Amino acid sequence: MDTFRCGVLLGLLLLYLPLASAEIYKWVDEKGRVHFGDRKDKKLAQEVVKPQIHASQWSRYNIDVKAEDVAISPEEIQSIRDGVNHVYEFYDRILHFDFYKTVPVNILILKDQATYYQYLTKKYGRRPTPSYDVYYPKDNQIIVYMREDRAGTFRTIRHEASHAIVDTITPYAPAWLNEGLAEQMETLKKSGSQLKIDKHAINHRQVRPQLQSNSVMGIGAFLRLPSKKWRHTLANRNGGLQAYAGEFVNFLLSTSPDRSFVMRLMHKFERGDRTISYYLVDQNYIGGIRTLEVKWNSWLAASRQDTIEL
């Protein structure tokens, strides 16, 4: 078994076992495959694995929030800051990103859509494509306008905060993964010390009819889509592809082993790997694309939990 798969299995055990509980054992079978488990078997030549556990060094950022000509309460400002910090915390604690290169985002909230487009036209020198919000990397700024759905406005801020992190640390991440992770941040919340992701109702409603009509895009075709096509699709406000990415990444984050896979995949892109994601996934997902597709289709068809506890 290769180093990647061993690491996935070990990471899995660490996620499932309490830190101060049973020993973790490692052994190699007659075919040379490496196994991990939490039970001692006298019939096997096992060795005890002593993993190095490091506490997260995460600390909150002071997020600058500015509102122009729009009333926003101190409670809402604090909610925005908390939500963005939860996004940073997700990438730190769950995906183990190093933030030494990351500057905390600053947020500008404009009063309405017309003002928003005027502002972006002046900033970009041309009229932008239709959007609710945008991340401007030069200033590390998220620009939004206040919609009637104020909660929706705050969700899009978290969405763009995710893009800010990925674009800064993992610029080679494929668009489907970048967008899929950003979709998760819209429903990210924190209860006590526990980060949680709620089901994204809009994405769920958009993908479910495709499943019922047997028209869900195959994983192979999905992973082969180039990022350029993604950008063109999103610029034309085609939400179907975005919803698919959101549901697919939600599926990958729903279990510990697949969450570990996402983390390792992101770190490969962080190191500059530009392999087409189809081949990278096929090489590194246990069982390859075929196994992934079977699990994905089963997950889509099942009555699943509404909240993922991370």
Determine the Cα angle at 296 with ends 271 and 179, to 5°. 45
CA distance 268 to 294: 24
- pLDDT of the residue at 76: 94
CA distance 129 to 237: 9
- pLDDT of the residue at 19: 39
- pLDDT of the residue at 110: 96
Pull the structure tokens for residue 146.
């206040």
- pLDDT of the residue at 89: 93
- pLDDT of the residue at 272: 67
Name the amino acid, one letter, at 15.
Answer: L
pTM, full prediction: 0.77
CA distance 171 to 137: 12
Determine the Cα angle at 172 with ends 272 and 163, to 5°. 135
CA distance 106 to 98: 19
Pull the structure tokens for residue 72.
């926003």
Contact predicate 152/57, CB 8 Å:
no
Domains contained in the chain, CATH given: 3-49 (no CATH), 64-169 (3.40.30.160), 201-309 (no CATH)
Q: Which of 235, 233, 257, 261 is nearest to 245 (CA)?
A: 233
Name the amino acid, one letter, at 51.
Answer: P
Phi-psi region of 301 (alpha: psi -120 to 50; beta: other; left: phi over 0): alpha
- pLDDT of the residue at 208: 75
CB burial of residue 90 (10 Å; 0-12, 13-18, 19+): buried
Give phi and psi for 97, each to the nearest 5: -85, 145
CA distance 6 to 14: 12
Could you report the average pLDDT of every consecutive run of 10 residues in the chain (310 residues)?
A: 49 45 64 65 74 55 92 94 94 84 88 93 84 87 94 94 91 90 95 91 77 73 81 64 89 90 86 75 87 88 80
* Residue 257, C-beta contacts closer than 8 angstroms, at least 6 positions apart: 8, 9, 11, 12, 286
- pLDDT of the residue at 213: 63
